[in-house]
Structure 1
Amino acid sequence: MNVAATTTLPAGTGLRPATGRTVAATLGPVPAPEPAGTGSARTGARVLVCDDHLVFAESLAMVFVDAGYRVTAVTRSIDEVLGVLRACPVDVCVLDVGLGLGDRFERLAELRATAPATHLVLLGGRGPRQWAPDALAAGASGLVDKGQHVAAILDTVARVCAGDTVVGPPYRQLPRRGAVPDLFRLAGFLTPREREVLCRLVRGEHTAALARSMGVTSATARCHVQNVLTKLGAHTRLEAVTAAVRCGLIDAATGEWLAG
């Protein structure tokens, strides 16, 4: 399938057709598309791919097309992404984390301001991975490693389209951060939903209870819990709960948020 035949091409995006051979050589076997009427891709979600390695970007675009998505454009810089977002609607931007996004991902704020309804999924590579909490705090909805099978990228985008925040395995276990001021800073990155999850963990609720009380699936509850651990730099639920109580973030008796 030719990517260019199924995409919108705003001026300056530099989109070129990709071949099936390129996909196979770069990303490995492509999973079979979902049957019509199943999965998040059935809606034809609009995806923009941005990576400065054009062959990889075009190959990934082909994978999305074969899975039932509409590829809006393939770009190579954040400036090009901004141009596309101003020209046409995009549901998900899949971005290489090495594209000069800023030390604290300041450029993600530009993308969010330009297209508030667009979800951001970051593709990481080899090297330090301590950036995950900052990326989530800056508005990323998904973190996935390029080294994983392409099916993991497709799964991440599908779940993000469904409203989940998805943190891939390489970004879940981060170095421990034990200082109280640092814990308060990291806690500031928690969303209201994630604060609720941490409070419920302090009350002793397990995953099934969390899901029932919050009206979500068990998978979504686990995702929320993992996001809390990632943002706080905790390795286990017990570590997160102990630190939150010890530092005065949450009342141990009531499970209420105290940090303001």
Structure 2
Amino acid sequence: MTPRTNRTDEAPSVVVCDDHRVFTESLSLVLADAGYAVVGQVDSPAELLAVLRARRADLCLIDLNFPGTTALEWMPRLRAVAPATRFVLLTGYLEPAVLAAGLTAGVRGFAHKGQQAGDILAVLRRVGRGEIVAERAAPRRTDARPGVPGQSQAQRVARFLTPREREVLTRLARGESTQTLAKAMGVTRSTARSHVQSVLSKLGVHSQREAVIEAARHGLVSVETGEWLAG
């Protein structure tokens, strides 16, 4: 996929590899906002291998699990073509066995996919400085109380989403269509569309994809699990 940002000489370059497209795009937006040059967004280790052959990347964020394979199985090939790239493993399972296997494979850092974007960035910055980050950190929930200084507009708006609207947003984050979520919620498609439109209006966006990306950027939902994170 075409990178979202143009690389500058000063910006650390990073490539993101995950088979959840919305997660990849939302994380890439967060990285770009934080000053990173996103030089690639790919869906599989095979595509990542091709990108790393073609472009230099200082850092790589890669999911642990892919259909039929894992990132750890690909690490020898990835490191062979990009020995200077520092790899950070994204996973929902920060268990000792995963950390040990990752370190053995050459992974330099680990981030829980349920963490807020800021926590993932913190891991990436530490790895970029040359540290090895292998800590078992539980995802932190977002305190989204209205009026708290420093909160994003999306976090403040989250408090005004109804329980139904929150359910709709989490289902959209899991990739469900309007028809699917209507059936799952036991409502008509017309009612489901009404709930979706209300979510879009409150978040100030124009499409379901934008709503999920905006929510993920601000730690409202996990696009990996669909879990509501904002309290």
TM-score norm. by structure 1 comes to 0.48
Distance of aligned partners of 1:159 and 1:75 in 2 relative to their CA distance in 1, 3 Å threshold: same
**2:15 matched to 1:6?**
no
Whether 2:74 is the aligned partner of 1:107: answer yes
How far apart in 1 are the matches of 2:63 and 2:79? 16
Q: Deviations over 1:172-191 (max 9, x none)?
A: xxxxxxxxxxxxxxxxxxxx
> In structure 2, which of residues 130, 139, 144 is the aligned counterpart of residue 163 of structure 1?
130
**Do the aligned residues in 1 keep the contact of 2:6 with 2:38 (CA within 8 Å)?**
yes
Check conservation: 1:58, 1:74, Cα contact below 8 A.
Answer: yes
Shift in CA distance, 48/150, structure 1 to aligned 2, threshold 3 Å: same
- State yes or no: 1:152 paired with 2:119: yes
| Alignment counterpart, residue 83 of structure 1, candidates 50, 61, 74 | 50
> Is there any run of 5+ residues in structure 1 with no aligned partner, and where?
9-40, 172-260
Deviations 1:83-132 (A, max 9, x none): 00010100111000112226xx2311111101000000000115866221
Q: Choose from 7, 18, 21 the match for 1:54.
A: 21
Structure 2 gap ranges (5+): 139-231
- Alignment of 1:134 with 2:111, yes or no, is no
The answer for the alignment partner of 1:123 in structure 2 is 90
- CA shift at 1:163, angstroms? 0.4
Q: Deviations over 1:44-92 (max 9, x none)?
A: 1000001100000000000000000000010000000000001010011
Q: Write the distance in 1 (CA, Å) between the matches of 2:130 and 2:50.
A: 25
- Report the AA paired with residue 91 of structure 1: D
**Structure number with larger C-alpha Rg:** 1
Runs of 4+ in 1 over 3 A off after TM superposition: 126-129
Number of residue-to-residue matches in the alignment: 135
The percent of aligned pairs where both chains have the same amino acid is: 39
Q: What CA distance in whole angstroms lies between the structure 2 residues aligned with 1:4 and 1:114?
A: 20
Alpha-carbon separation, structure 1, partners of 2:79 and 2:33: 28
**What residue in structure 2 maps to residue 28 of structure 1?**
none
RMSD over aligned CA atoms reads 2.4
Contact 1:7 1:73 in 2 (8 A): no
| Aligned mates of 1:70, 1:145 — CA distance in 2 | 22
Q: Secondary structure at the match of 1:73?
A: strand
3-state SS, counterpart of residue 122 of structure 1: strand
Counterpart for residue 95 of structure 1: 62
Residues 132 and 5 (structure 1), Cα distance of their counterparts in 2 relative to 1, 3 Å cut: closer
TM-score (norm 2): 0.54
Change (3 A) 1:83 1:148: same
Q: Distance in 1 between matches of 2:4 and 2:18?
A: 20
